[in-house]
């Protein structure tokens, strides 16, 4: 299975940018890179996903390395509400079906 490696925890200050790294050196050519986050006592929430090019949406930006072996989720201005566990996930294909396998994630703490 293609796996991801993330730091266990990171800390940021409110209104500062946050760069959350993810290594996925065994990524295959058809794997998409997904990011989800889980706020306390809630289910995971989709953040962003991409294949090769950098992606932007209203929540965050995703920067993907040229060799696709790593990526970075960028929160442009962290707020207290962004404190959560952030999961970097590769889609895995088993036959005609895809599944997302969650790892340990990075616990992001945002200081006021």
Partner 1 sequence: DTAVSQTPKYLVTQMGNDKSIKCEQNLGHDTMYWYKQDSKKFLKIMFSYNNKELIINETVPNRFSPKSPDKAHLNLHINSLELGDSAVYFCASSQPVPINSPLHFGNGTRLTVT
**Mask for 5-44, x = binds partner 1 (CB under 8 A):** ---------------------------x---x-x--xxxx
Residues in the interface with partner 1 (CB under 8 A) total: 23
Report the Cα–Cα distance between both ends of the chain, in Å, rounded: 39
- Closest separation in Å from C-beta 42 to partner 1: 6
Inter-CA distances, 47 with 36, 55, 87, 97, Å: 5, 11, 9, 22
Judged by beta carbon, residue 40 or residue 112, the one nearer partner 1 is 40
The Cβ of residue 31 has, within 10 Å, a number of other Cβ atoms equal to 18
**Mask for 76-105, x = binds partner 1 (CB under 8 A):** ---------x-x---x-xx--xxxxxx-xx
Which secondary-structure segment (H or E) carries 67?
Answer: none
CB–CB of 83/13 below 8 Å? no
Q: Which residues bind partner 1 (CB under 8 A)?
A: 32, 36, 38, 41-46, 49, 85, 87, 91, 93-94, 97-102, 104-105
């Amino acid at each position: 299975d293609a796996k991801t490696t993330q730091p266990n925890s990171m800390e940021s200050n409110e209104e500062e940018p946050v760069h959350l790294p993810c290594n996925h050196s065994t990524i295959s050519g058809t794997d998409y890179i997904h990011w989800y986050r889980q706020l306390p006592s809630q289910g995971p929430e989709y953040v962003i996903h991409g294949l090769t090019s950098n992606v932007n949406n209203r929540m965050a930006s995703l920067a993907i390395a040229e060799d696709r072996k790593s990526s970075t989720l960028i929160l442009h201005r962290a707020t207290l509400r962004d404190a959560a566990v952030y999961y970097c996930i590769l889609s895995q294909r088993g036959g005609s079906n895809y599944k997302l396998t969650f790892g340990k994630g990075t616990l992001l703490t945002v200081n006021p």
